[in-house]
Structure 1
Amino acid sequence: MHYQWIASQAALPAIIQKLKQSHSHALDTEFIKVDTLYPKLGVLQINVDGQVYLVDGNLDLSILWQAIFTAKQNIFHACGEDVDLIYHYAQQKPLTNIFDTQVAMAFLGYGMQVGYQAAVETILNIQVEKDQTRSDWLARPLSPEQVQYAANDVLYLQQLAERLIEDLKQKNLYDYVIEDCQSYCLSLAQNYSPEDAYLDMANFRHSSKQLMQLKQLMTWREELALRENKPRSYILKNGAIQKILERNPKTFHQLAGQYEIRSGILREHGKHILSLINELPDPSTWLKRLPRPYRYQLAETSVAIEQLLNQVSRDLSVPIDTLMRKKWMTQLQVFATQEHADIQTLNPYLLGWRLDLITKPILELIRKDQGAARQ
């Protein structure tokens, strides 16, 4: 295999020129994210016009990030972590020019989370080794095995994408996949306030007091993670937070003995953690309990929704789990209860091509069900 190791700033303009001229190119990243919140780039892999470049992550890649944002099409497989890394390093978002081969595989019925190795073997009948996943990508020099692994990750990606795009276009699904890739990159670009971090764990079983404790704990954890560039789980694991809410420790001894909190975190922040759960604002300011999950009043409502999804699935030849996910359905149920709610506030996936096919018909069924319940 022919590849070039790029460790010189002077080599970047020629690569960028190739990116500008190409209709599409394959990209991947190798990074370390063990003890930090933000990834540390080791290698950026590029396959453009059949030439593989392995770009040293120690370089200043500012102009390369910009070229990725302005490219005609960037091909990735399972782009989530790669896009997060690009957003971090480029300090720019969102990307709107992604084609993700994993998303394409889902639309074509191969499964929701097919790995790159399985995708290449299934579509191209080529076996690729995946034995360097946990390598130290910041080490220099890289081992021959690491270099081979990194190059392989983009060597077949363009070919894989071409085959998938051909199949998608034959089924008139290509535009749907492109739109879903854009929706995914947009969701990754959304900025959440640290004060909203508690929503990732909050549920209807939490009391108002527990929700207030949860908000204070997770706001503190999020701010500390951002400030010190530490993984959230390094500071306080979700499981530990849930146990704290259930047991409500009052003393440092209780906190130290029951919650598997790192000694350094306990030593530096233990007293503050106790204050966050025991020194709450006035009860009148506590958060309201979240509503229980909506349950259809009419048995035929869930049947009608299932029939609708089955029909759209047959018409488009797209699996149901690609058409609609559980969390999207929950959002539709909540949205249907809100008067004068703006439909544009829904998840981007529920807009666009799904809006008339799925979103509006399901909302109509849910609202009909709710109307029957009030009678």
Structure 2
Amino acid sequence: MSQTQFAAGATIHIHRHDLPDGVDFGAMAAIDTETMGLDPRRDRLCLVQLSAGDGVAHLVQIIPETLGGRGADCPNLKRLLTDPAVTKLFHFARFDVAALCQGLGAVTAPVICTKIASKLVRTYTDRHGLKDLCRDLIGVELSKQQQTSDWGAIDLSPEQCAYAASDVLHLHAIWARLDALLKREGRRDIAQGCYDFLPMRARLDLLGYDEPDIFSH
């Protein structure tokens, strides 16, 4: 099943179970997830949003077999997540990579995280949320009204779809600004080291090493 919606100049394709054959995100795919809560060990993965930064968002619903879906049977999506030739661009990748690993059994790599990049170079502020980056770096105001809605519903509302799409549609533009700042401040190599470690950090979280943190004293 695939549906298409249009919202604020963007095209939103909604897919159940998996990406369709032939979808090409180029060398970098912006990705976000929606789950039933904030603990990926407990709260199931419901939605995976993707964009090539071209004003088009693909929303993949992950529906468990108990609700008539296919669960983690999504070969096209998992192929993209693990493709070494495609960089996966996230905001707060630590959570999303853990959610994808727990929900789909796929270790996503290579990855980039705009939240980490922001914290490395925007040290003049403590505002590093996606809404803050959209406003401060590209002049876009995001609505977070649907953030806490029920993402496990089989039929998502147009408002939910628009919200979910907005989380990936602007990441390429934000990354371009942050990458320029990383180069300017000489911290790109530090950022890359952080990105390379993120898949392992997510796996540690899933093993329960988030609290207490294995790196704490």
- Length-normalised TM-score, structure 1: 0.47
User: Does structure 1 conserve the Cα–Cα contact (< 8 Å) formed by 2:53 and 2:173?
Assistant: no
User: Does structure 2 conserve the Cα–Cα contact (< 8 Å) formed by 1:38 and 1:88?
Assistant: no
User: Does structure 2 conserve the Cα–Cα contact (< 8 Å) formed by 1:26 and 1:157?
Assistant: yes
- In structure 2, stretches of 5+ residues that fail to align are 1-9, 64-69
User: Does structure 2 conserve the Cα–Cα contact (< 8 Å) formed by 1:102 and 1:112?
Assistant: no
Counterpart residue number, 1:6? 15
* Alpha-carbon distance between aligned partners in 2 of 1:115 and 1:172, rounded to the nearest angstrom: 23
Compute the displacement of 1:72 (Å).
2.5
What SS does the corresponding residue of 1:186 show, helix, strand or coil? helix
Counterpart residue number, 2:180? 166
Counterpart residue number, 1:90? 104
* Alpha-carbon distance between aligned partners in 2 of 1:170 and 1:75, rounded to the nearest angstrom: 20
Counterpart residue number, 2:147? 133
1:90 to 1:163, Cα distance in 2 relative to 1, 3 A: same
* Alpha-carbon distance between aligned partners in 1 of 2:111 and 2:39, rounded to the nearest angstrom: 29
1:113 to 1:186, Cα distance in 2 relative to 1, 3 A: farther
Map 1:1-375; keep pairs closer than 5 Å: 1-7=10-16, 9=18, 12-15=20-23, 18-19=24-25, 22-33=26-37, 37-50=41-54, 51-58=56-63, 59=70, 60-70=73-83, 71-93=85-107, 95-110=108-123, 111=125, 114-190=128-204, 200=211, 331=217
1:136 to 1:170, Cα distance in 2 relative to 1, 3 A: same
Compute the displacement of 1:80 (Å).
2.0
Asked which structure has the greater CA Rg, the reply is 1
Compute the displacement of 1:168 (Å).
1.3
1:34 to 1:87, Cα distance in 2 relative to 1, 3 A: closer
Compute the displacement of 1:76 (Å).
0.5
User: Does structure 2 conserve the Cα–Cα contact (< 8 Å) formed by 1:102 and 1:113?
Assistant: no
What SS does the corresponding residue of 1:106 show, helix, strand or coil? helix
User: Does structure 2 conserve the Cα–Cα contact (< 8 Å) formed by 1:98 and 1:178?
Assistant: no
What SS does the corresponding residue of 2:22 show, helix, strand or coil? helix
1:63 to 1:80, Cα distance in 2 relative to 1, 3 A: same
* Alpha-carbon distance between aligned partners in 2 of 1:162 and 1:66, rounded to the nearest angstrom: 25
Question: Alpha-carbon deviations, 1:25-84, whole Å to 9, x = none?
Answer: 210011103798433222110001512111122253233123212142111001222111
* Alpha-carbon distance between aligned partners in 1 of 2:77 and 2:119, rounded to the nearest angstrom: 30
What SS does the corresponding residue of 2:21 show, helix, strand or coil? helix
* Alpha-carbon distance between aligned partners in 1 of 2:204 and 2:45, rounded to the nearest angstrom: 22
Query: Which structure's residues are more often strand, by fraction?
Result: 2
* Alpha-carbon distance between aligned partners in 1 of 2:207 and 2:160, rounded to the nearest angstrom: 38
1:138 to 1:186, Cα distance in 2 relative to 1, 3 A: same
Q: What value does the CA root-mean-square deviation take over the aligned residues?
A: 2.9
1:113 to 1:183, Cα distance in 2 relative to 1, 3 A: farther
1:171 to 1:121, Cα distance in 2 relative to 1, 3 A: same
1:159 to 1:36, Cα distance in 2 relative to 1, 3 A: closer
1:140 to 1:14, Cα distance in 2 relative to 1, 3 A: same
1:49 to 1:187, Cα distance in 2 relative to 1, 3 A: closer
* Alpha-carbon distance between aligned partners in 2 of 1:193 and 1:102, rounded to the nearest angstrom: 23
1:166 to 1:34, Cα distance in 2 relative to 1, 3 A: closer
Q: Identity, % of aligned pairs? A: 21
What SS does the corresponding residue of 1:26 show, helix, strand or coil? strand
The ranges of structure 1 where at least 4 consecutive aligned residues each deviate by more than 6 angstroms after the TM superposition are 191-194
Compute the displacement of 1:187 (Å).
2.0
* Alpha-carbon distance between aligned partners in 2 of 1:165 and 1:41, rounded to the nearest angstrom: 29
Compute the displacement of 1:190 (Å).
3.1
How many aligned positions are there?
Answer: 197
1:152 to 1:32, Cα distance in 2 relative to 1, 3 A: same
Structure ranking higher on relative contact order (CA contacts 8 Å, 6+ apart):
2
User: Does structure 2 conserve the Cα–Cα contact (< 8 Å) formed by 1:66 and 1:90?
Assistant: no
User: Does structure 1 conserve the Cα–Cα contact (< 8 Å) formed by 2:30 and 2:171?
Assistant: yes
* Letter paired with 2:113: D
* Alpha-carbon distance between aligned partners in 2 of 1:146 and 1:37, rounded to the nearest angstrom: 24
Counterpart residue number, 1:230? none
What SS does the corresponding residue of 1:126 show, helix, strand or coil? coil
